[in-house]
Amino acid sequence: EPEVTQTPSHQVTQMGQEVILRCVPISNHLYFYWYRQILGQKVEFLVSFYNNEISEKSEIFDDQFSVERPDGSNFTLKIRSTKLEDSAMYFCASSTGGAGKNIQYFGAGTRLSVL
Partner 1 sequence: GNSVTQMEGPVTLSEEAFLTINCTYTATGYPSLFWYVQYPGEGLQLLLKATKADDKGSNKGFEATYRKETTSFHLEKGSVQVSDSAVYFCALSANFGNEKLTFGTGTRLTIIP
Please report, as ranges, the residues that interact with partner 1 according to CB under 8 A.
4, 6, 31, 33, 35, 41-45, 48, 50, 55-56, 58, 91, 93, 95, 97-100, 102-109
Stated length of the chain: 115
Residue 81 contacts residue 65 (beta carbons within 8 Å): no
Contact 15, 83 (CB under 8 A): yes
CB 13 within 8 A of CB 112: yes
Report the nearest approach of partner 1 to the CB of residue 79 (Å): 19
- Closer to partner 1 at the Cβ: 14 or 39? 39
Min separation Cβ 63 and partner 1, Å: 20
Which CB sits closer to partner 1, 7 or 17?
7
**Closer to partner 1 by Cβ: residue 34 or 114:** 34
Q: In a 10 Å sphere around its CB, with 0-12 CB exposed, 13-18 middle and 19+ buried, how is residue 90 labelled?
A: buried
